Amino acid sequence: MSGGGEPSRAIEAVWRIESARLIAALARMTGDVSLAEDLAQDALVAALERWPESGVPENPGAWLMATAKNRAIDLARRGKRFEDRREQLAREAGMRMAMDAAEHEAALGAELGEDILGLIFTSCHPLLSTEARVALTLRLLGGLSTEEIARAFLVSEPTVAQRIVRAKRTLKEAHAPFEAPQGEQLDERLPSVLEVIYLVFNEGYAATAGESWMRLDLCEEALRLGRVLAGLAPKQPEVHGLVALMEIQASRAAARTGSSGEPVLLLDQNRARWDPLLVRRGLAALERAEKLSRGAFGPYTVQAAIAACHARARSAEETDWARIAALYDALAQLTPSPVVELNRAVAVSMAFGPEGGLELVEALTAEGSLEGYHLLHSVRADLLAKLGRSAEAREEFERAAAMTENTRERELLLQRAHIVAS
Amino acid sequence: MRFMMLMYPAIDTDAKNWEPSAEDVAAMTAYNEELTKAGVLLSLDGLRPPADGARVSFSGRAPTVTDGPFAEAKEVVGGYWLIQASSKEEAVEWASRCPGADGDFIEVRRVFEMEDFPEDVQEAGQLSERPPEQT
């Protein structure tokens, strides 16, 4: 490759594409993710020094790998800890053999996927905090710099750097093996990986539009990671479920904000602005998830199925609320939470009338865990209004208005309080 | 961001037969698989030769239809990939990895997002509230 802007940006692009494979392969050779990343970074520094002069080599991935391996052998050779010359030579020879064996396997092509899978599961190791897992995943698998991660998550660069250093130390101290878990272990550890990917997605998705393209980029990166994982663990229904959920949610990105940046709720969105390509991809991923689930859907697949009900409806009125209510019922059993229950109440009221919905909302109110959550009160107000209990509805709209921090939402709720009273 | 990579193969544009060899197809399939594994490929298609196509051109009132092949056409699109990339450089890097034949070229173009347009154009772009039915 030549031409096309600044050389450092071209090298950055190569890095984004190659870094995960590079680190994954080096981690398997050395058994040490931290060392693997250092070696890969050294290779990147060498590229930044040399490529602007020499041009980007024909096979930049192979160049980076060769450079990183030489560096690894160099380090083994200079290892100060080995005072015995023979031990030092043995270590160096061992490193060479490991490298040669790895190269041979890589040439066969089969190992690469396993390496990447190993890197994903190591980055999302259950020993690590969620924040550390997110930072490590974006760093090792997304090729993002510490600065980019910090910008995306609105935290300081040293904070992110700290998280990564600590995470690597934790992995090292626990002697966490670098490998993809198999069988039951895989089922056990998969949710931790899916959680990280969905968290990255939501971090980008929850950001208001136009704030910074970097944050929207997070959604794309999460989707990319999800698709990579789906390719590596194609028999896992929940991976496809998560991909489906993200593709369908991402399809609504352009419709989620109005012209002055205000949030537009799902049922008010202009469906013509939903991205049909992502909808199609999402529905296809959901179909894969459903086939593999054999009736026992996991939580991501259920959420994707709910999203799909909306995606399939050409207008808000055509929404299959009975199915959504049934799916929320299933979700409430898989992952019980008051917020899921509130959503179920809305779906039930849309499908079968406000009485059933209100019953569920009253139960939630009595239970008290959503106390102070404005949506609980605005949903209750809405149901009361539909049942003609105007005075109570008005009071409840006003209560909800007092609880929201969003000015625009407050105006809307007060307006509804006014309308229901008149 | 999204980029479209438009492939302009260096082959006789008049040719009726655009069928590539098994070898070429294998190389291209490996490339497509690489894009898929990296999670960046959104969609792709290969196009039949212009000899099978037609051109609808506009000047004045009624559009003019010309059947292919088109004698004067030097550069003809043979297919496209729609990919997701974090920068133009990344899209260019992906394009560079395509097993292109001598004389082929790929044009890399970023896809417009609604946000790229001024407000009035955005408004005009959302006249319809009801999208056509999808399967």
ipTM (interface predicted TM): 0.86
* Candidates B87, B113, B130; nearest CB to A13: B87
Residue with tokens 């934790």: A170
What per-residue confidence (pLDDT) applies to A97?
Answer: 67
What per-residue confidence (pLDDT) applies to B6?
Answer: 98
Contact A279, A248 (CB under 8 A): yes
Q: Which residues of A touch B115 (CB under 8 A)?
A: 209-210, 254
Contact A44, A36 (CB under 8 A): no
What per-residue confidence (pLDDT) applies to A394?
Answer: 96
What per-residue confidence (pLDDT) applies to A317?
Answer: 93
Reported as a pLDDT band with limits 50, 70 and 90, residue B126 is low
Predicted confidence (pLDDT) per residue in B8-19, tens digit: 998 765 555 667
Contact across the interface for B93 and A223, Cβ inside 8 Å: no
Rounded to 10 degrees, the C-alpha dihedral A395/A396/A399/A404 comes to -140
Contact across the interface for B115 and A210, Cβ inside 8 Å: yes
Contact across the interface for B131 and A209, Cβ inside 8 Å: no
What per-residue confidence (pLDDT) applies to B128?
Answer: 58
| Most A-contacting residue of B3, B5, B96, B106 (CB-CB within 10 A), to test interface | B96
Contact across the interface for B37 and A279, Cβ inside 8 Å: no
Which residue in A has a C-alpha nearest to residue B125's C-alpha?
A273
Predicted confidence (pLDDT) per residue in A248-304, tens digit: 999 998 888 777 767 788 898 989 889 999 999 999 999 999 999 988 999 999 999
Contact across the interface for A221 and B86, Cβ inside 8 Å: yes
Q: How many pairs of residues across A and B have Cβ atoms under 8 Å apart?
A: 87
Contact across the interface for A14 and B93, Cβ inside 8 Å: yes
Chain A residues at the B interface, defined by Cβ less than 8 Å, are 1, 4-5, 9-10, 12-14, 16-17, 113, 209-210, 213, 217, 220-221, 223-228, 231, 254, 259, 270-274, 276-277, 279-281, 312, 314-315
How far is the alpha carbon of B103 from chain A, nearest alpha carbon, in Å? 15
What per-residue confidence (pLDDT) applies to A408?
Answer: 74
Contact across the interface for A272 and B126, Cβ inside 8 Å: yes
pTM attached to this predicted model: 0.88
SS3 A74: helix
Domains (range + CATH), chain B = 2-124 (3.30.70.1060)
Predicted confidence (pLDDT) per residue in A328-347, tens digit: 999 999 999 999 999 999 99
Predicted confidence (pLDDT) per residue in B21-75, tens digit: 889 889 999 999 999 999 999 999 999 888 889 999 998 888 999 998 887 777 8
Q: What is the mean pLDDT of chain B?
A: 85
Contact across the interface for A4 and B43, Cβ inside 8 Å: no
Distance CA A201, CA A213 (A): 14
What DSSP line would sit under chain B, residue for residue?
A: -EEEEEEE--S-TT-S--PPPHHHHHHHHHHHHHHHHTT-EEEEEE---GGG-EEEE-SSSSPEEEESP-TT------EEEEEE-SSHHHHHHHHHTS-PPTT-EEEEEEPP-GGGS-HHHHHHTT--SSPPP--
What per-residue confidence (pLDDT) applies to A2?
Answer: 46
pLDDT at position B129 over 90: no
| Most B-contacting residue of A270, A277, A315 (CB-CB within 10 A), to test interface | A270
Contact across the interface for B87 and A314, Cβ inside 8 Å: no
Distance CA A152, CA A161 (A): 14
What per-residue confidence (pLDDT) applies to A378?
Answer: 92
What per-residue confidence (pLDDT) applies to A263?
Answer: 74
- In this prediction, the residues of chain A whose per-residue pLDDT falls under 50 are 1-4, 82, 208-213
What per-residue confidence (pLDDT) applies to A295?
Answer: 81
Burial of A284 (0-12, 13-18, 19+ CB in 10 A): middle
Distance CA A32, CA A140 (A): 13
What per-residue confidence (pLDDT) applies to A4?
Answer: 47
Contact across the interface for B89 and A10, Cβ inside 8 Å: yes
Contact B50, B13 (CB under 8 A): yes
Predicted confidence (pLDDT) per residue in A61-82, tens digit: 999 999 999 998 888 777 655 4
Burial of A80 (0-12, 13-18, 19+ CB in 10 A): exposed
pLDDT at position B133 over 80: no
Q: Where do the structural domains in chain A lie, given as residue ranges?
A: 1-111, 202-311
* Candidates A221, A228, A273; nearest CB to B37: A228
